[in-house]
Amino acid sequence: MQTPTYDDWYTEVKSLTTRLVNIRSVSPGQGEIQVAREVLNMLQEDGLELTYTALGLDPLVGDSFGRQNACAFVRGSSLHTIILLGHIDTVDTKDYGSLEPFALDPDALAHHQHALASMTPGLANDLKEHPGDWMFGRGSIDMKCGVAANIAVMRHMAKLAQAGKLPLSVVLIATPDEENESAGVLQAVQYLLRLRETYNLSYLGAINTDYTTALYPDDQHRYIYTGSVGKLLPTFLIIGHATHVGEPFDGVDANLLAAGLIRDLSMNAALCDVVRGQQTPPPVTLKASDLKTSYDVQLPFAAYFYLNVLTFSTTPAQLLARLRAYARTALEKVLQRIDETEAHWMGNRRRAQPPRSGIVLTYHELYAEVTQQFGSERLQAEIDAAWRTMPANLDSRGRCLHIAHHLWTLSGKKGPAILLYYSPPFIPHVAGNPGPLHSVANTIAEAHPELQLEVHEYFPFISDMSYLRLDPAFDSTALTANIPTWQEQPITTRTGGYHLPLNAIQQLNLSVINLGPYGKGAHQAGERVLMSYSFGILPQLLCEVIDRLSQSQ
């Protein structure tokens, strides 16, 4: 059969991308169901529906929205199999402001480029450098273009299979919920294990087609990644001591303790991971609040915040130990400041008293102490009661806070104190894994100097790749023991508990690369994809990877 040309790819991928962007699929929500069905429609068009060995929607078990992964499998002459992966959900469109009615219409947004440029740093220069070469719209780069490229390549593979010329077997999976809690790819892990067992497949790895972008000003490179950044979300419950604002030295302001700790942790370069020349961005807070629900003149008795920490190599146990040390130091500094302020304010009237002190402990340590105090059965009953009284509108982080604060109350301990635990989601980092897929990635980069392709190890953005491979030596103890809502099984009587199929991920153990479209402005009103590279060149590169993999087997 005739090999598609650049123009063939360009026309098809542009059309598919536009159709996908036109569908609102903000996560979590019903639109993700519609876009999954559209992916299946696209795969079957032009009489290809009977070509696939397996084709359909795989439900996300226990999902309250009824969402599904779109899955396709075409069997080639070999059971060696490559997986094409991409997510079909997006973030919301409110950031478009007055242009929100056009957020899903690339053609309409093309007529509002100057308005978008006024909202998006760097866009005006990009319009000058690549005039007429940008497609705009929510999800255009993150990552419906990547899914469209996968669909076009999968359709080509199906046609090769029809002609008896497909050398490898190929799987396509389009997942929802990547922008939220990765429920789609976690279900995909189970699907891929079932598929491997059913057809006796040998997986060569997965190609994710999430977006790539410039890493520094005037960066002209295009990137292939052989691993992915991870994420931990340590959370600090800070316990102060309530008092009237007119008598502040009789209590401790929980917000003051939180502020001191945030100052020491947020944007702290010492907490960046540096591995083989790549460095994670520094931690930042994603939420900080006290627990007061109304105005009064009482010092806040408790506050909390969670810290976004990206990882290349740091383990949950290592991070926990480092953060405990920071917490102790911050607590001591704030309490010393209060002592010194009281001494200055009281002068000769201050009575002799010992310096203020507090405690820092982990959720696991507190749980062990309360277990000794109450006994396992009674504590279990207390935790069950806390679940039953939990407000229905809490997200997974709010549920953790609810349980952690309840456990602190049960303990009878007094502040000042800092309780350290982990909130969902946990996203594992994935290091490069030498093998055929990574060798081919390097070969592709070397074969196309005109594209200025560079191979880096860690994809710098959160992605579904993180759940396809987990180091066999990974010790989950410090993680699972310190997530208040952790449950060992995915389905229990506690609705809303947090579970990850860690054993299944280790069984799957896929090599991964990210070879995706090029664009800028993800999660911004100026979100855009460079069409010449992403619609025409990217699908050719994906096919070249598959072809070279087949030659290496």
Residue 348's pLDDT is 64
Alpha-carbon span 44 to 62, nearest angstrom = 28
Type of residue found at 517:
P
- CB-CB contact of 335 with 260 (8 Å): no
- CB count within 10 Å of CB 355 equals 10
Alpha-carbon span 267 to 328, nearest angstrom = 19
Pure H helices in 355-496 = 363-374, 376-388, 396-411, 436-447, 477-480
Residue among 456, 450, 427 nearest 515 (CA): 456
Q: Fill in the DSSP letter of residue 160.
A: H
Alpha-carbon span 41 to 151, nearest angstrom = 10
Residue 491's pLDDT is 61
- CB-CB contact of 222 with 209 (8 Å): no
Residue 361's pLDDT is 97
Residue among 444, 442, 445, 504 nearest 470 (CA): 504
Long-range contacts of 401-407 (CB under 8 A, 24+ apart): 401/235, 401/237, 401/304, 403/484, 403/485, 404/235, 404/237, 404/363, 404/484, 405/237, 405/291, 405/302, 406/382, 407/363, 407/366, 407/367, 407/370, 407/383, 407/484
- CB-CB contact of 334 with 270 (8 Å): no
Residue 146's pLDDT is 98
| ∠ Cα 50 52 55 (to 5°) | 100
Alpha-carbon span 4 to 451, nearest angstrom = 19
- Which of helix, strand or coil describes residue 480? helix
Alpha-carbon span 87 to 533, nearest angstrom = 20
Residue 553's pLDDT is 76
Partners of 304 in beta bridges: 237, 289
Order the strands of the 134-136 sheet from edge to edge: 134-136, 528-530, 519-520
Which residues, including other chains, have CB under 8 Å from residue 227's CB and lie 6 or more apart? Answer: 429, 430, 431, 432, 433, 457, 458, 459, 465, 512
Going along the chain from its start, the domains and CATH numbers come out as: 6-229+427-469+510-552 (3.40.630.10), 234-422 (3.30.70.360)
Which residues, including other chains, have CB under 8 Å from residue 432's CB and lie 6 or more apart? Answer: 226, 227, 438, 457
Structure tokens at 149: 């490229």
Alpha-carbon span 529 to 20, nearest angstrom = 14
CA atoms within 13 A on the CB side of 288: 17
Residue 171's pLDDT is 98
Burial class (CB in 10 A: 0-12, 13-18, 19+), 416: buried
Type of residue found at 58:
D
Model-level pTM?
Answer: 0.92
Structure tokens at 339: 């002592």
Alpha-carbon span 310 to 88, nearest angstrom = 23
Alpha-carbon span 106 to 113, nearest angstrom = 11
- Residues with pLDDT less than 70, the chain: 1, 243, 245-246, 348-352, 490-494
Residue among 418, 409, 402, 431 nearest 496 (CA): 402
Residue among 233, 407, 237, 249 nearest 327 (CA): 237
